[in-house]
Amino acid sequence: MLVKAKGDLQAVSASRLRDGVAVWLSAGHRWMEDVADAGAFTGAALQQALAVAQADSAAGLVVDVYPLDVAVADGRTRPLHVRERMKARGPSVRPDLGKQAVTPAISRAPERAA
């Protein structure tokens, strides 16, 4: 984990082991490829989400599980840290690479200063 989550609202990120794709845990505890679909957790719900993620890591489904600070606007979860936004989209200087290249809605999502 490179970024330490310290906000009140957090999501859970990981990399899917079979293909290395960045994924985020949904409110229903399913791994999603779009950070906008990530669950935003607090308190006991966050601890439960982390426990589910750690169990999936132990089962070999995902690796590098960690919480990240997020905000929710218009029903979409958005990372607050620039590193996490780049993980979700792709490199900011190469919009032709990463998830933003294959999912245009990701690149059109408005930025929010962290």
pLDDT tens, 23-57? Answer: 999 999 999 999 999 999 999 999 999 999 999 99
Higher pLDDT, 19 or 113: 19
pLDDT tens for residues 56-108? Answer: 999 999 999 999 999 999 999 999 998 898 888 887 787 887 787 777 555 44
Asked if the structure places residue 23 within a domain, the reply is: yes
Go through the chain and tell me how many residues it has: 114
Cβ–Cβ contacts within 10 Å for residue 70, how many? Answer: 25
Report pLDDT for 86.
Answer: 86
Asked if the structure places residue 51 within a domain, the reply is: yes
CA distances from 84 to 36, 43, 55, 60, 66 (A): 12, 21, 22, 23, 11
Asked if the structure places residue 98 within a domain, the reply is: no
Asked if the structure places residue 81 within a domain, the reply is: yes
Q: Are 16 and 96 in contact (CB under 8 A)?
A: no
Report pLDDT for 104.
Answer: 57
Asked if the structure places residue 100 within a domain, the reply is: no
Confidence band for 3, pLDDT divided at 50, 70 and 90: low
The residue range of the domain holding 36 is 10-89
d(C-alpha 48, C-alpha 40), whole Å: 12
Asked if the structure places residue 61 within a domain, the reply is: yes
Cβ–Cβ contacts within 10 Å for residue 108, how many? Answer: 8
Confidence band for 2, pLDDT divided at 50, 70 and 90: low
Domain count, the chain: 1
Report pLDDT for 110.
Answer: 44
Phi, psi of 64 (to 5 degrees): 55, 55
Q: Are 79 and 11 in contact (CB under 8 A)?
A: yes
d(C-alpha 16, C-alpha 24), whole Å: 10
